[in-house]
Structure 1
Amino acid sequence: MHFDTLALRATHQPDSVTGVVVPPIYLSTTYARNESNELPANYLYTRPNNPNREALEKALATLEGGAIAMAFGSGQAATMTLFQALSPGDHVLLSTDAYYGTPALLEQVFHPWGLTYTRVDMRDLNAVRASIHENTRIIWCETPSNPMLDITDLQAVSQIAHEAGAICVCDNTWATPVLQRPFDFGCDVVMHSTTKYLNGHSDVLGGALIFKEDNEFAQRVKLLQGLSGAVPSPFDCWLISRGIKTLGVRVRAQSSTAQAIAEFLEGHSAVEKVHYPGLASHASHALVQQQMKGPGAMLSVQVKGGAEEAIRFIGKLNLFTRATSLGGVESLIEHRATAEGPNSITPKNLLRISVGLEYADDLIADLAQALA
């Protein structure tokens, strides 16, 4: 089936008793046993399981083509639980240009606990091979990366991971399964911040892990999910499931507008550099065409000058909201180094743009007047 059909079918679960087309929200934290002290539907307590979360997890596994999925209260909770499933003394190989919260978790939480990690440019396959340790358990990819939109060759890195006895994890938040399915290229685990495109309306915090195989490691993560309780509420699961229904049409429309904006900005005299995989000038443009069904709706732009010029520019915008996060229906722009804090390695003149569903010409006109 086409992705749009699959997304609708995966989240369409009519109630067999009442016939309601839209599933209800199961807010109960506990479930009654019958006269024989049995649980009629195998639900005991909402922390280990809930009908809304179960429905969302099944939909996520279907969309990514995986065997099992787990939903969490945030993307960081999902990432943290995956690392918790490792053992002290294990090693993680992480892309240099990864979401800043991921290395922050490794450095501030797991390094004192005994987990080691190395950061490497995932575009350099020789460097990836050279950075493998005997105790490497996870190679963590993020493609397109945040915020530089670097592209990782998932097929090649997955092969390197498997040769080393490690698993390959891909943060697929920016591409979404609409544009990229990492399991098709050998990855073992897909991570999502469901806060972003999957929900799509900037009103839910959530995360997910999807496993290609329901193996021992997946069950270890499943155990930790239930024990830690870092899970989304039934209402949050219901909202994310609702967002998935329109995921395909939203992402394709946003990507089309992002392409137009990137082309406009690349030709502007006040712009130093545009980072967008849909541009022929992008270093991995050919790989994008092989690995993705579209370049996505995220781009970064470096304006000429430094942080002061970049911040002055976004202060003149009218249609772009100056805010962190991404993937919603409204266009957002932020000075990324400010968001990441004093230890940021992001260029000081870089602005990250999440393209929404506004009319493309209106957004371009707004950028033009602010750059003028």
Structure 2
Amino acid sequence: MPQLATLLAQAGRQTDPLTGAISTPIYQTATFAHPAVGESTGFDYTRSANPTRKALEDAMTAIEGGVASFAFASGLAALSTLICLFNQGDHLVVAEGSYGGTYRLLDQVFARFGISATYVPVTDTAAFAAAIRPNTRALLVESLSNPCLAVPDLPALAQLARDNDKLFIVDNTFLTPYWLRPLDLGDGLGADIVVHSASKFLAGHNDTIAGIVSVRDPALAERVGYLQNAVGAVLAPQDAWLTLRGLKTLALRLDAQQRSTLAIARWLQTQPQVKHVYYPGLEDDPGHARLQTFASGFGSVLSFELADNAAVARLVEGVKLIAFAESLGGVESLITIPAVQTHANLSAEERLRLGVTDTLVRLSLGIENADDLITDIATAFSLHK
């Protein structure tokens, strides 16, 4: 089997046998003509299947090592469809420190339909075990917590899910299949389902909203495929093509982004304005050794604590190369204040308990020159001392 970087570069290649086009065509059509009564080309209506979307889904299946993949209109559309696997009265155990939209979806939407969730510390496997009830149906965890980048023990959680006959769902947005393939964690263990906000690293250019689900069991894949069609929150052909385009450079982008992230994390540790840096690529980070046991990289997102709100304001208003914007994983570097952006829907008490303070800043490093980014941050730090 080719190496992962090769699979990424070849994603969607030669999927048009009629012309031999190297780039998958954008099949911008709602419906498809049938050859004759009782016959089909395999495509009937774009909500159900579209050749451009199928090229992306097939590529992700090969990249993830699963049996099937499904593309959705956003990461939250993907997660919403997955939660439709469950019934009224079902219960999920969810890692604390998840994306704020995950909390909002579970607590303010699906809770109204009788699906409940218990949140436990992401690094505490025993807490996951203690939270399992007779009506628990799944464990849901992110491969790195957002925004403090804590590292869960994914193999132990996979074993826990198997021992208790629960689904194990991993949101792998932060690490991507280039650094981690949760469907195969070794020793026959792995997630049952992997979900991505493909808007982030997979598409990679801050120009697309998309979600991906990959599944390792055929029967479960059939259920997810049914829900994809029934719920209808599918990825449009143009966005599927943009995501395929992003996959082709994923390996190159992530290698460059991770190098810059480690350099900037080490530099931030030397700055008097910075109280603490969260990044598992640092040797003294609590998750450094654990992550190395099941992943091949540390990601290109870091967070750090500043002294006060005034320092945060000076930074976000002073940087010129780094945009003050939500999201992550694109070629352009972004700076975010999680307490007022990604996690604003949580209560102040909950944010404080999770370490999402008003002075916590998250950086998603792009492919710019690392020295230029350091100069940009240093200049902002020096303003109005």
TM tier, smaller: over 0.9
Partner of 1:237: helix, strand, or coil? helix
Post-superposition CA distance 1:14-36 (Å, at most 9, x none): 52221222221101111111244
1:302 Cα offset (Å)? 0.7
Post-superposition CA distance 1:324-349 (Å, at most 9, x none): 00111000001111103263511110
Partner of 1:249: helix, strand, or coil? helix
Letter in 1 for 2:311: E
Counterpart in the other structure of 2:135: 135
Cα distance in 1 for residues equivalent to 2:345 and 2:22 = 49
Of 354, 361, 368, 2:371 maps to 361
Counterpart in the other structure of 2:32: 31
Counterpart in the other structure of 1:154: 154
Cα distance in 2 for residues equivalent to 1:143 and 1:304 = 28
Cα distance in 1 for residues equivalent to 2:7 and 2:35 = 36
Cα distance in 2 for residues equivalent to 1:85 and 1:129 = 22
Partner of 1:370: helix, strand, or coil? helix
Counterpart in the other structure of 1:266: 269
Moved more, 123-132 or 354-363: 123-132
Moved more, 191-200 or 2-11: 2-11
Post-superposition CA distance 1:205-256 (Å, at most 9, x none): 11011001121x3322211110121011111101101110000100110011
1:8 Cα offset (Å)? 2.0
Counterpart in the other structure of 2:251: 248
Which 5+ residue runs of structure 2 have no aligned equivalent? none
Which 5+ residue runs of structure 1 have no aligned equivalent? none
* Contact 2:122/2:145, CA 8 A, preserved across alignment: no
Aligned residue pair count: 369
1:46 Cα offset (Å)? 0.6
Counterpart in the other structure of 2:231: 228
Cα distance in 2 for residues equivalent to 1:308 and 1:134 = 49
Cα distance in 2 for residues equivalent to 1:56 and 1:104 = 28
Of 182, 188, 192, 1:188 maps to 192
Counterpart in the other structure of 1:202: 206
Cα distance in 2 for residues equivalent to 1:274 and 1:141 = 22
Counterpart in the other structure of 2:298: 295
Of all paired residues, the percent bearing the same amino acid is: 40
Moved more, 192-201 or 15-24: 15-24
Cα distance in 2 for residues equivalent to 1:48 and 1:36 = 19
* Contact 1:311/1:335, CA 8 A, preserved across alignment: no
TM-score normalised by L of structure 2: 0.93
Cα distance in 2 for residues equivalent to 1:342 and 1:37 = 51
Cα distance in 1 for residues equivalent to 2:345 and 2:152 = 27
Cα distance in 2 for residues equivalent to 1:342 and 1:175 = 24
Cα distance in 2 for residues equivalent to 1:132 and 1:365 = 48
Letter in 1 for 2:78: A
